[in-house]
């Protein structure tokens, strides 16, 4: 619906070399978020899971979760992601876009979506954010990152979108690659 088919084609074509090219960059994003206390808990929904680098990082660092739901529109990327999970019965792969995940309301304790927003047409951002808010339970949080280029405008637009959504949204800052926000469920609001 929102992500350009050419982007999915690009990810299909580059899937096999993705980890070698982007592991360090992606790991730096995860480290940034986890160092601020937003580690996985309960049911994790990874929107735009790619080749499963976040799963790999979580497991390698000793973090735990109950279930890991990997949402990805690229067949090649999700195939590699599920291979990486090596039959872990807590993991599930779902082919789809972040704007229409197809899971029940409030299923997620933790949602991660790293650099997916930049692949979504801006006119669909409200739907994308609405889906994240819908999936998040009252005890959870959702981390969303976006490329640094034009980050102030993106942040302002995200604040406007969220005004009617009812969740606390906080800016966590930027690292070398991305900027990060968190949506906090009602019970997770931090001062």
Domain containing residue 153: CATH number: 3.40.50.150
Structure tokens at 123: 């006119």
Q: Mean of the pLDDT values across residues 68-96? A: 94
% the chain with pLDDT above 70: 94
Q: Quick one: tokens of 1?
A: 């619906």
Alpha-carbon separation of residue 171 from 60, 92, 129 (angstroms): 27, 30, 15
Both tokens assigned to 91: 């993991």
pLDDT, mean of residues 2-26: 83
Question: Does the pLDDT at position 189 exceed 60?
Answer: no
Cβ-count burial of 89 within 10 angstroms (0-12 exposed, 13-18 middle, 19+ buried)? exposed
By residue range, what is the domain housing residue 9? 5-188
169 pLDDT tier (thresholds 50, 70, 90): very high
CA dihedral 133, 135, 141, 147 (to 10 degrees): -70
CB atoms within 10 A of CB 60: 9
Residue for token digits 């999970």? 85
pLDDT at residue 100 tops 80: yes
Report the number of distinct structural domains present in the chain.
1
pLDDT at 1 (0 to 100): 40
In angstroms, the CA 108 to CA 167 distance is 14
């Amino acid at each position: 619906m929102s992500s350009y088919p050419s982007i999915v084609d690009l990810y299909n074509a580059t899937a096999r070399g993705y980890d070698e090219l982007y592991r360090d960059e992606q790991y730096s994003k995860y480290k940034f978020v986890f160092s601020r206390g937003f580690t996985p808990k309960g049911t994790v929904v990874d929107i735009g899971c790619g080749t499963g680098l976040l799963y790999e990082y979580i497991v390698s660092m000793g973090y735990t979760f109950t279930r890991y739901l990997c949402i990805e529109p690229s067949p090649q990327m999700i195939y590699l992601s599920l291979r990486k999970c090596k039959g872990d019965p807590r993991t599930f792969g779902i082919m789809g876009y972040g704007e229409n995940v197809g899971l029940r309301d409030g299923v997620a304790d933790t949602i991660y979506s790293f650099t997916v927003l930049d692949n979504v047409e801006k006119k669909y951002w409200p739907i994308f954010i609405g889906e994240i808010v819908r999936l998040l339970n009252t005890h959870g949080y959702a981390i969303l990152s976006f490329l640094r280029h034009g980050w102030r405008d993106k942040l302002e637009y995200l604040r406007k979108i969220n005004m009617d959504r009812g969740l606390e949204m906080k800016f966590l800052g930027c690292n070398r690659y991305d900027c990060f926000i968190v949506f906090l469920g009602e019970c997770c609001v931090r001062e």
